[in-house]
Amino acid sequence: MRCWIDTDVGDDPDDAIALLCAAAHPDVEIVGVSTVDGDVEWRAELARTLVPDVEVVAGRPPSDALAAADALLLIGPWTHGAELVTRGQLPRRVGAMGGTIRPVIHHGQLRVVEHNVSRNPDAARVLLAQQQPLLITPLDVTATIECTREEERALVRAEPRLEPMLARWRRARGDVALCLHDPLALLALVGEPGIEIERCALSVGRNGVMRSHGALHDIVVAADRHAIVTRVLTLLG
């Protein structure tokens, strides 16, 4: 799978883990990385340290480079995905982490709207309204892929570059569990086992709340936590 990855790497460490897993996955060739939301230049510099042999673009993916991809993975706000819809340049396979099908308690708070969607609800609405089925990996599933502290230490042993990212994130967020949100979205797009997918109608309201009507999309509805964590550790190791 020749995949372009659009990411807001630099906040939650799971973006970095997803990039590293994609670079190590035998069925994935990263053809490029773009950064979205906030300081995209800083995010791009961080991405270059993680995947130094890959073209990294600060901001929207260029049309000519994206043409080489047969898949797009959105693991940040869906701004660039919506832009590709309006330009008629969406790759034939698209996976996106974001949204929540049901309200979920995550890091001690009730979440009705997920971060990637809340950052740009208009983009989420455009992306889901088009008729090409997307593969959506929502928060209510990714929140179940929590790492134990021993698993987190194993991730750092496998990939030491994660240690300062985890430390910085935990100083900002407090003593919360690391969830493998974006690695799950990657593994779902690749077609790894242990992930259950259903085709459902889905749309987004102006407030970012997802609704069960609209265009048909493929939704990750369940995932085997142990299998996902083990696969990530294997890829990083």
In the chain, pLDDT over 70 holds for what percent of residues? 100
Type and span of the H or E element at 185 = helix 181-190
Q: What is the pLDDT of residue 67?
A: 87
The DSSP secondary-structure symbol of 56 reads: E
Distance CA(72)–CA(142), nearest Å, equals 19
Q: What is the pLDDT of residues 115-140, one digit of tens each?
A: 999 999 999 999 999 999 999 999 99
CA–CA dist 135, 158 (Å, integer): 29
**Using one digit for the tens of pLDDT, what is the confidence trace for 77-109?**
999 999 999 999 999 999 999 999 999 999 888
Strand order in the sheet with 210-223: 56-58, 29-35, 2-7, 71-75, 93-97, 135-137, 210-223, 195-204
Task: Give the global pTM.
Answer: 0.97
- Domains of the chain, start order: 2-236 (3.90.245.10)
- Give tens-digit pLDDT for 126-180: 999 999 999 999 999 999 999 999 999 999 999 999 999 999 999 998 889 999 9
